[in-house]
Structure 1
Amino acid sequence: MGQSLQDIHYKETSMKKTALVLGLLATFSSAGWAQSSVSLYGILDVGVRYTTNSGTTAARKGDSLSQVIPGGMSNSRLGVNVSEDMGGGLKAIANLEHRLNSDTGTQTAAEFWRQSWVGLESKEYGRLTLGRQYNVLFDVYTSTFSSYKYSPYIEIFRPETAMAMAGRQSNMVKYLAESGPFRGELQVGAGEGASPDKTVGAMLRYSKDELAFGAGVMDVEDTAGRKVRGLTVGGAYTAGPLYVNLSWGQNKFDLGTDVLQAAYTNNYTISPASRLNAAGLDVKKRDMLAVGFTYQFSKELNLGLQGWYAKQTHHRLTGSSKAGFLAAVADYAFSKRTDVYAEADYSKLGGAVSFDNTAKSRVGLSTGIRHRF
């Protein structure tokens, strides 16, 4: 026998109710997922580089060096950003970022995660983050008066970043607040475990229309109570395709401190300003002036020129040491994600400092391709 009209009506009503429940569940589920997000990001940059006066010994200091480099414009990285909207203008945020040598697949430092922090962000009260993260000197530099408009610095040739006192610190608590064109940050770092250096610092920046300027201060203290004191101040001006920057930084070292020595004794080819500390623990004060510009000739093509002049005094050595750096770069974007670049740089050292092989000058040429995702 066929179904009665009552049975058919009952089944249709049940199906409509089921569909309504499933629809509501899907809506609530989508809304719940929309409140949280996890995003993967990264940069892959590989280039080739040629440098003069790069022999491994003083006897062969005039030898040149050709190599594949793990990033000419940017350090290759892979990161995860996490954000959860908890309502009322409050978010939970977190970040994990790994840096890698793209030419060999190895990690760039002893720590696997170069950044690893978690925090809370409020529209009304600002942002509080805890963990390993960028310090206030690096933040004010990159956000306010970076060397190049389209890329904060050249990874393979970046004397300015050494003045930011390693750029990142572990065991840090950092607070950020914004009001109109002003942004301020405070940081405190606990000295513990494998990173025994205590840190405290602050920065303030102003950015509106074409102008941006700011300043930052930071102290780093070792277990013996000896300190390195850092200061940076500068500004930038943007007028259409033209971007101009000017900044000055200073580091003062207590006698015998070993704070941040690793940041200043890396291979000079990677961090040019590092060899300004070639006199060991004898550095007393280091100053660096930076000036340069970027000009966007077209939607795809950017050209930049940047110069740095550094001078340092010593606790024991007489006289002063000097260094001058100059870099020119051209960047061509095939798309929003992929670009190619060519870069030329020159270094000249004087006084007590030199390259590891005793050379006093060096020319570098780099070119490569970078993809961001």
Structure 2
Amino acid sequence: MKKTLLAAALLAGFAGAASAQSSVTLYGLVDAGLRYTNVSLSNGDGATNFGLGYGQQSGNRFGLKGVEDIGGGNKVTFVLESGFEPGNGTLQQGGRIFGRASWLGLENNSWGYVRVGRQLNFATEYVGIPVDPFGTGFGQLNMGAAFGVANTDRISNSIKYQTPNMSGFQAGIGYAFANGATGVYTADAGGGASTGSGYNFATSNNSRQLTLGAKYANGPFYAAASYDKIYAPDSKGEGASISSWNIAGSYDFKVVKLAAGYGQTRDGVILGQGGGGTGASLAGSSISTVNGENVFAPSVGTNSYIVGLTVPVNPVSRVLLSWTMLTPNTNMKDAYNAQNQTAYNLAYTYDFTKRTNMYVFAGFMQNVGTVDTAKSTQVGLGMRHQF
């Protein structure tokens, strides 16, 4: 009897060890509430909307993530993540099944990771999410309104490498053979548009993207830098491309966490997720209102700024504040009467549990998309649950 019990215990132990080496997790997030939006121009054009708002603090999603230990400290990892609209059940990210993320990777604590598929660029991963008090959420309130390349920029058909953590320092490099982004080209950048569809191993016929990043974290201090270069398809000729670099950081003083950042984008505009805000769509003269994720324009350039604060009220609630600005270069001002875009943002979140919280927010933006007199005001509240 004792031998039988011992054997059963050993078998149970081996089964537990085996299952611990390989796992698949289902996870997700549901975010819904109410939102009021008002956009206007000085000529009287505008719109006011009030109703249900979805994915306000964070985009709605469900996904699968897995890991398998294959020995020697090496692990195979994957993430398949889908974005959806709770109000009607439809898929987001252009109807992609796994539009938020779809990648397979190999990693090791001693040499880092390699991942292949659809994934975030390093500007979003290193600069946007960690530095922005709004975590690239809350619609027009997040820093992506000024830092387009850090506005949840997902690149398809990409391969990324990240170093291991070396005393708080990490760096990464990635390249997308066909980033999947739509593009619009001014006359001096080849003209026309591209849909961003398809790869078919015809790399030169697609928009490609190089992404670089470095970060350092040590206790309350965090700093990061990123660089992205987006190349137009060769069919556009003239080697049209957009470049963008950013540097940002934060320091947690416990009573308040201060964040700040600066960036430059040249030879075009990177709109990112939800780029070209609703206010900008009321006017057709600004280069940033063109309907595309990336606008290739050799004469266009912008500078980006952010100052943000996270103020813990108590262990379960915090106040978020930020100011962002996007300044056009002289060519944009002359050609499109572009003006400085400024935004003032405020939010409050309260955690009921580790998985569920409520929030309220308000944001005001002047000269949306650098369009003169375009204004946008957003106010909302909602609840978010993670599982």
CA contact (8 A) 1:264 1:276 kept: no
Q: 1:352 to 1:307 in 2, by over 3 A?
A: closer
Q: Deviation at 1:305? A: 0.9
Whichever residue aligns with residue 112 of structure 1, its letter is I
Q: Find the aligned partners of 2:74 and 2:178 in 1 and give their Cα distance.
A: 30
Q: Deviation at 1:263? A: 5.2
In structure 1, the partner of 2:288 is 277
Matches within 5 A, 1:118-197: 118-142=104-128, 144-148=130-134, 151-155=135-139, 157-158=141-142, 159-160=145-146, 162-164=148-150, 167-177=153-163, 178-191=165-178, 194=198, 196-197=206-207
In structure 2, the partner of 1:67 is 51
Matched, 1:43 2:15: no
TM-score by length of 1: 0.83
CA contact (8 A) 1:121 1:128 kept: yes
Q: In structure 1, the residue corresponding to 2:71 is in which secondary structure?
A: coil
Question: Identity over the aligned pairs, expressed in percent?
Answer: 24
Q: Deviation at 1:342? A: 0.6
Whichever residue aligns with residue 300 of structure 1, its letter is V
Q: 1:167 to 1:51 in 2, by over 3 A?
A: same
Which 5+ residue runs of structure 2 have no aligned equivalent?
Answer: 180-196, 200-205
Q: Find the aligned partners of 2:209 and 2:386 in 1 and give their Cα distance.
A: 32
CA contact (8 A) 2:148 2:275 kept: no
Cα deviation, 1:208-259, whole Å, max 9, x if unaligned, reads 01211111001011113311111110110101131110011222125xxxx8
Q: 1:99 to 1:43 in 2, by over 3 A?
A: same
Q: Deviation at 1:142? A: 3.7
Matched, 1:107 2:91: yes
Q: 1:250 to 1:304 in 2, by over 3 A?
A: same
Q: 1:173 to 1:147 in 2, by over 3 A?
A: same
In structure 2, the partner of 1:291 is 307
Q: 1:337 to 1:165 in 2, by over 3 A?
A: closer
- Is the radius of gyration larger for structure 1 or structure 2? 1
In structure 2, the partner of 1:5 is none
Matched, 1:209 2:219: yes
Q: Find the aligned partners of 1:24 and 1:166 in 2 and give their Cα distance.
A: 47
Q: Deviation at 1:23? A: 4.5
Whichever residue aligns with residue 299 of structure 1, its letter is P
2:348 is aligned, of 326, 330, 339, to 330
Q: Find the aligned partners of 2:303 and 2:140 in 1 and give their Cα distance.
A: 21
* RMSD (Å), alpha carbons: 2.9
Q: Find the aligned partners of 1:300 and 1:29 in 2 and give their Cα distance.
A: 39
Matches within 5 A, 1:241-252: 241-252=255-266
Whichever residue aligns with residue 239 of structure 1, its letter is F
Q: Find the aligned partners of 1:143 and 1:166 in 2 and give their Cα distance.
A: 8
Q: Deviation at 1:278? A: 2.0
Q: Find the aligned partners of 2:270 and 2:262 in 1 and give their Cα distance.
A: 20
Q: Find the aligned partners of 2:18 and 2:151 in 1 and give their Cα distance.
A: 42
CA contact (8 A) 2:349 2:357 kept: yes
CA contact (8 A) 1:348 1:362 kept: yes
Q: Find the aligned partners of 1:351 and 1:221 in 2 and give their Cα distance.
A: 23
Q: How many residues align?
A: 344
Q: Deviation at 1:194? A: 2.1
Q: 1:33 to 1:327 in 2, by over 3 A?
A: same
CA contact (8 A) 2:340 2:367 kept: yes
Whichever residue aligns with residue 183 of structure 1, its letter is Q
Q: Find the aligned partners of 1:279 and 1:347 in 2 and give their Cα distance.
A: 19
In structure 2, the partner of 1:370 is 384
Q: Find the aligned partners of 1:54 and 1:194 in 2 and give their Cα distance.
A: 37
Q: In structure 2, the residue corresponding to 1:163 is in which secondary structure?
A: helix
Cα deviation, 1:110-164, whole Å, max 9, x if unaligned, reads 222120001111011111111100001111114542234xx45324533145232
CA contact (8 A) 2:324 2:343 kept: yes
Q: In structure 1, the residue corresponding to 2:39 is in which secondary structure?
A: coil
Q: Find the aligned partners of 2:300 and 2:92 in 1 and give their Cα distance.
A: 29
In structure 2, the partner of 1:309 is 325
Cα deviation, 1:25-71, whole Å, max 9, x if unaligned, reads 4333322111111111111000111122369xx7652x421021112
